[in-house]
Amino acid sequence: MKISLFITCLGDTMFPDLGETMAKIFTRLGHTVDFPEGQFCCGQISFNSGYMDDTRTVARATIDAFENSEVVVAPSGSCIGMIHHNYPALFKDDPVYAKKAKDLIDKSYEFTQFVVNVLKTPDLGARYQAKVTYHPSCHATRLLGLRDEPMAILENIQGLEILPLPEAHLCCGFGGTFSIKMPKISEAMVAEKAEHVLASGADILTGLDMGCLMNISGYMEKHGRSIPAMHVIQLLGKGM
């Protein structure tokens, strides 16, 4: 397959190794990858702040960037969730872009969703000795319904011990602009999440969204109790 990488804002600006590792994994599996340079933000930040016209402008740019792609894969349940869940409402009065949005929805996937459900290869031959706990981010779990897919990949990494995360279903408090608009509530939520991560006994915190992992690990580091946070893709990169 020819796979177009949707790197996302956080991936592009702060965690470029995510995109590089995705490209290496897909290439090793025999696929070709490309990076449409017209890609932009999914629009979630402006959408969550109520700027619908600005969001439509950003969303159109994203749709146009991947119009000719065979399949689109991102290292983020949050960004793919934004496309799948909110683009239909954004373009309900625009028949041209409503159709284009549906086309993008039908061919876009979060990384573990694509590897497990489309490529049918949860075992990528990775080996990594560590104790990890998995944080199920809200958008990946609730908007995309991704529960078994990330666990299928983690369970196939030889040497990895997966420890349960207490109260795993609770939000980490990031929520993008939520953490800026309501910092006190956000901090209380991430403080609780950090306690649960530490209580798990894991050496590494893993998940599908770098926003959540950055929020949790940043709080723990600030309070001198940090453990490494690694995206599932980064774990695979180490193990492969």
Question: And the tokens for 160?
Answer: 């990895």
Give pLDDT, residue 103: 98
Q: Which pLDDT score is estimated for 178?
A: 87
Mean pLDDT value of segment 180-204: 96
What pLDDT, in 10s, does the model give residues 32-86?
A: 999 999 998 999 999 999 999 999 999 999 999 999 999 999 999 999 999 999 9
Q: Which residues of 173-195 are buried (b: 16+ CB within 10 A; e: fewer)?
A: bbbbeebeeeeeebeebbebbbe
Identify the DSSP state of 164.
P
For residue 226, what pLDDT is reported? Answer: 82
120 C-beta neighbours (distance < 10 Å), count: 7
Residue whose pair of structure tokens reads 């529960």 in the numeric block: 147
Q: Is 75 exposed, middle or buried (0-12, 13-18, 19+ CB in 10 A)?
A: buried
Q: What is the pLDDT of residue 120?
A: 97
Q: Are 209 and 137 in contact (CB under 8 A)?
A: yes
Average pLDDT, the chain: 95
> Which residues are CB-contacts of 155 (< 8 A; sequence separation ≥ 6)?
122, 162
Place of tokens 């600006």: 13
Dihedral angle sign, alpha carbons of residues 49, 10, 54, 56: negative
Q: What is the CATH number of domain 122-239?
A: 3.40.50.11810
Per-domain residue ranges of the chain = 2-117, 122-239
Count CB-CB contacts under 10 A for residue 7: 22
Please state the rounded mean pLDDT for residues 201-206: 97
pTM, rounded to two decimals? 0.95
Write down the pLDDT at residue 180: 87
Beta strands in the chain (DSSP E): 2-5, 32-34, 71-74, 108-110, 127-135, 158-163, 204-207, 229-231
Determine the Cα–Cα distance for residues 143 and 138; give it in Å rounded to an integer.
8
**pLDDT at residue 176 tops 80:** no
Judged against a pLDDT cut of 90, whether residue 121 lies above it is answered with yes
Residues 136-162: what's their mean pLDDT?
A: 95
R_g of the chain computed on alpha carbons: 18
pLDDT band (50, 70, 90) for residue 225: confident
At 1-45, the pLDDT tens digits run 999 999 999 999 999 999 999 999 999 999 999 999 999 899 999
How much is the pLDDT for 175?
Answer: 84
Q: What is the pLDDT of residues 192-202, one digit of tens each?
A: 999 999 999 99
